A and B are shown apart, each in its own frame.
Chain A
Amino acid sequence: MTNVELGLPALPAKPYPEEVHARLAADAEELIGRYPVARSALLPLLHLVQAEEGFVSPTGIRFCAEQLDLTTAEVTAVATFYTMYRRRPAGKYHVGVCTNTLCAVLGGDQIFEELQEHLGIRNNETTADGEISIEHIECNAACDYAPVVMVNWEFFDDQTPESAKRLVDDLRAGREVCPTRGARLCEFKETARILAGFPDERPGANDESGAGGAPSLAGLRLARGETLPGTGGTKVVSPRHEGAAEPRHEGTAEPRHEGAAEARHEGTAEPRHEGAAERPGQEGTEA
C-alpha cells in the first residue's frame, strides 16, 4: 500500500519536555481553578500554550486535552474556530491592519497595501527574520480612532501609511515602541500569557498611555465648555431638569473642581512614567 502524504502532523504529538510540562501544568491548574467547570478554561489554556510556543502546536493541543480530559480532536475543533490562535509560528510582533469598512474607507486599505509592499510579505505571512507577521483584521472597536493598526493587540490609533511603515521599521530595528493606547510592546508570546489570564507584571504597564486620546474625551470636553477643533465654540447645556444656570452640576460636568487641575498636571506631564511610582495592587491574579 502506498503511503499518501496528507501534510498532517504525525499523531500522537510529542509531549512537552518534562520541565516545560510541569511549569505549564501548574499554570493550567491555576486557570482551571477559576471556573466552576474545568472545560471553561480551554480558551485560556490555548492562549497559554500559544504563550509557550508562539502558536498552537499539536503538542500544545495534546497538553490542553490532557489537562481537561478531552480528546485532541475536541481541542482542535475549538482551536480552529477562533482566529487568534495561530496554527503555525509567526512574528514576534503581530501587526493587524483593520480593513473592515470604516477603517478601510478612511485609509486602512492603503495602509495594508503599502505595509505588505514595504515588508515584502502578504496577508498572514511572516518576515524572514521572524520579527513581523501581518494580517488584515476585522473591526477592533476603535472606529473613532480610524484608521487603526494593532500590534500584539495594543492600539496604534490614527495611522497613516507613513506612520505604519515607521512603526514596523522601529520594531525590526529593536527600538522601543509605545502604542497610543496600551503599554510598551512586549513580544507576542508575552501578550499571549496576559490573554491566558496572567496579569502583566511589568512595573507601571497598567498606567501607561493615559485614559484615552482626544476622541474618547471629545464629548466630555464639550460638556466642560471647552472647544473642539473646527467647532467654532458650540454651546452645550445640561439636561432640562438639571438647571441651565448651573451646567457644572452633578451628572453633567461634575469633577471640574479640586482633582481636575492637579489631574491634568499629573496625567499629562509625563504619563509614561507617572504610573511607575505609585502603581496600586497590580500583581494580584484577577480572580
Chain B
Amino acid sequence: MTSAEPAEKLLTPVLSASWDDSRPWTLATYRRHHGYEGLKAALAMPPDDVIALVKDAGLRGRGGAGFPTGMKWQFIPQNDGKPHYLVVNADESEPGTCKDIPLLFANPHVLIEGMIIASYAIRCDHAFIYLRGEVVPVLRRLHAAVAEAYEAGLLGRNILGSGIDLDITVHAGAGAYICGEETALLDSLEGRRGQPRLRPPFPAIAGLYACPTVVNNVESIASVPPILARGKEWFKGLGTEKSPGFTLYSLSGHVTNPGQYEAPLGITLRQLLDLSGGVRAGHRLKFWTPGGSSTPMFTDEHLDVPLDYEGVGAAGSMLGTKALQVFDETTCVVRAVTRWTEFYAHESCGKCTPCREGTYWLVQLLKRIEAGEGVDGDLEKLLDIADNINGKSFCALGDGAASPIVSSLQHFRAEYEQHLAERRCPFDPAASTVWADGPRPGHQSATEREVHA
C-alpha cells in the first residue's frame, strides 16, 4: 500500500456472518441469522420471478467459470414433461481452493435454503449435493443439516405449506478431481467413471439421466438466499457493475493470516494483504494465483488488479475460485509448477489424448528441469506440448494444466534457464516452510484456536 491510500478496507461478511456464533451449523442458529427468510420470500413469488430476480441481481457462478446463475436456471425447458434436477457441485478440489468446505462445515443450512429456492425456481423435486468424499467432517454436518431440515418441514412433502415437494440426497464422491467438471460429475453421479461428456447437449437440456439439469457451485447457490431476503438492489450495490455482489476470497500460502475474507467483488490482493497483515514477515511476494492453479499466475505487478471477472480477465488470467495462493521469494517456481503438473497428470481422466499424453510428458520434462538435468530446447518443448493441450483437450482440465506452465514461463523464464544453466535447483525448500523463520505471528495454538471456534 502506498501511504496516500486510506487505511480503511472493505469486508462484507454475509455467508460467513454467523460463523462465530454458537453452533452455526444448526437450524436454530441459522434462523437467528434470518435463515430461511429468503425461502419464504421466494415461495411468495411465481417461480419465473425468482429466476428473473436472480438474473437481474447479476449473480455469477462462483465455481470458476462465472456463468450467470439465473441464466442457467432460465435455460431449463418448462412444461416438457420431464423431471428436472438440481445438482450442487461440492467437489471442491481445484488446488488452492478452500471456500466451499469451510462454508459447509460452518453453515450447511445456507446451501440447503438456496437449494430449495433454486429447485422451486426450476421446478425440480429431487436435488443432489455431490460432495467430494475426502471431507468427512463436512459430510457429517450435511447429513445432520438435511435431517434437521426434513424434521422442520423444510424438505419433503408440501414444504412450509406451499404444495412444493423436494428431496435432497447427499452423495459422497470417491476421489477424482475431474468430477468437479460438471458433465463428469453427472456421469459420476450416475454411477460411472467420472469422464466429461461431449457438449452440446448441455446439462440444461440433457443432464442427469438425460433430463434437464442445473449444476451450480456451492457458493453460487448459497448466495441466493441473501439475495431473496435483502433484494437485488442490495446485492448490486456491492461489487462492480458487471461483477456484482460479495464473495469468499481464500488467502493462503506465505501470508501472515491465511483464511477466508468475504468482500465485495473487485477488491485487490493489495487491499486484502493490507488488511490481513501482508506477506509473512521479512519476505516479499513472488507469484500468486487469482483463482486456483488452473488460472494463469500473477506477480507483484498485478497487486492492484480488481479481483472480479472482468478485471482478472483483462489482466490475462481468470477469477476462477478466488483461491489466492501466495508464494514468496523463497519458492522455486519450477518446483511449484512441476507439482501442479503432476497433479493434472494424476487427475487426467484419460478420455482424450492431448490431456492424457500431454500432461504425462510435461511431468517428465519438468522433473528433469527441476532436478538440473534439463537440456537445451526443453523450454520450447514445454510450451509446444502445453500449446497442444490448451484448447485442444476435451474439457477444461487440459486448459488448466497448460496455464501454470505458460504463465510461469512468461513471468519467470530466467528462473527456468537458471535451472538449465546451473544444472541444479537454486532454491532451498526448507526456507519456504512455515516453520523456517520460527512460529509465524498469525499462528495460534490449538487451544487458542478453539476460543474462536
Contacts and interface: CB of A to CB of B under 8 A. Distances in A.
A181 B97 CA distance: 17
Given A109-B429, A155-B137, A220-B17, A143 B339 contact: no
B283 interface: no
Given A84-B133, A218-B259, A281-B148, A267 B22 contact: yes
Contact of B136 (A154, A207, A222, A239): A154
User: Interface centre among B8, B83, B335, by most A CB within 10 Å?
Assistant: B8
Contacts of A36: 83, 126, 209
Interface stretch (A5-13, A18-26, A74-82, A121-129): A74-82
Interface string B316-360: 000000010101000100011001100100110100000000000
B223 interface: no
A105 B338 CA distance: 12
A176 interface: no
Contact of A218 (B96, B151, B176, B258): B258
Given A211-B25, A231-B275, A275-B23, A182 B136 contact: yes
A216 B258 contact: no
A87 B333 CA distance: 35
B281 A251 contact: no
A275 B100 CA distance: 23
B134 A84 contact: yes
A99 to B, nearest CB: 7
Contacts of B24: 211
How many chain B residues sit at the interface, stated as a range, is 35 or more
A236 B8 contact: yes
B251 interface: yes
Given A41-B191, A214-B442, A231-B257, A287 B27 contact: no
Interface string B73-91: 0000000000100000000
A102 B339 CA distance: 9
B96 A143 contact: yes
A259 to B, nearest CB: 5
A286 B146 contact: yes
Nearest to B189: A40
A81 B193 contact: yes
Interface in B180-237: 188-194, 209, 226, 230, 234, 237
A84 B275 contact: no
Interface residues of A, number: 118
A144 B251 contact: yes
Contacts, number: 411
Given A110-B429, A138-B93, A222-B275, A68 B11 contact: no
Nearest to A146: B252
A139 B97 contact: yes
B198 to A, nearest CB: 19
Nearest to A268: B451
Interface string B356-395: 0000000000000000000000000000000000000000
Given A153-B136, A197-B172, A252-B12, A268 B430 contact: no
Contacts of A140: 134-135
A200 B12 CA distance: 34
Contacts of B453: 209-213, 217, 267-268, 271
B413 interface: no
Contact of B259 (A82, A152, A217): A217
A266 B134 CA distance: 29
Contacts of A42: 191-192
A81 B176 CA distance: 8
Given A82-B176, A102-B95, A217-B453, 11 more contacts: A43-B171, A43-B188, A105-B253, A107-B432, A147-B434, A197-B143, A211-B453, A217-B20, A219-B262, A230-B442, A255-B18
Interface of B: 7-14, 16-29, 32-33, 83, 92-98, 100-102, 105-107, 126, 132-137, 139-144, 146-148, 150-151, 167-177, 188-194, 209, 226, 230, 234, 237-238, 249-254, 256-264, 274-278, 281, 293, 323, 325, 327, 331, 335-336, 339-340, 343, 346-347, 349, 429-430, 432-435, 441-444, 446, 448-453
17 contacts: A84-B174, A85-B174, A100-B343, A145-B258, A146-B434, A207-B23, A214-B257, A215-B257, A217-B259, A229-B444, A231-B256, A234-B275, A236-B9, A236-B11, A251-B17, A263-B20, A285-B147
